[in-house]
Structure 1
Amino acid sequence: MSITQQYALDTYRARQLGEPAPPAPGAHDRQVVRGLRDRRRFRAVLAGRPARGRIRTALGRLAHPGPRSMR
């Protein structure tokens, strides 16, 4: 059963029982992704790492390998 079929079945059952309809699939995806990003940044700060730009920095190192500076 696909997610669309399950949603249609849940909506039908809710209508039959007089309950509010469930949220559509994907309705809260942005909120979930934003929450995950915020949590990852928070945990990075607690661990003493930079909270932003880590992925871009890592990709830059892969794209332009060279001598690494000693920090």
Structure 2
Amino acid sequence: MKLDNYMHQFTGSSSSIGAKKVKFECTQLREHCRAGNGEGCKRTFQHLKKEYAILRKKLEVYFQFARQAGPVNKACRPK
């Protein structure tokens, strides 16, 4: 039950930032766990880890650019 709660939170968080692939894998994992499908859980967990790693790399690049750009109030608007 505790895993289901964590996966529910992770699904919601993924959805709120538009991480559709991570959200899909979270949903699949929850369904496999509820059905007692151990093999499905293992397989889907591996897919989830892969999609999470991809998302994390993309977010790291995004935040690196955001830090380089600096505060919004100091940014120059295009003319």
**TM-score higher than 0.5:** no
Task: Tell me the TM-score normalized by structure 2.
Answer: 0.31
Question: Higher relative contact order at CA 8 Å, sep ≥6: structure 1 or structure 2?
Answer: 2
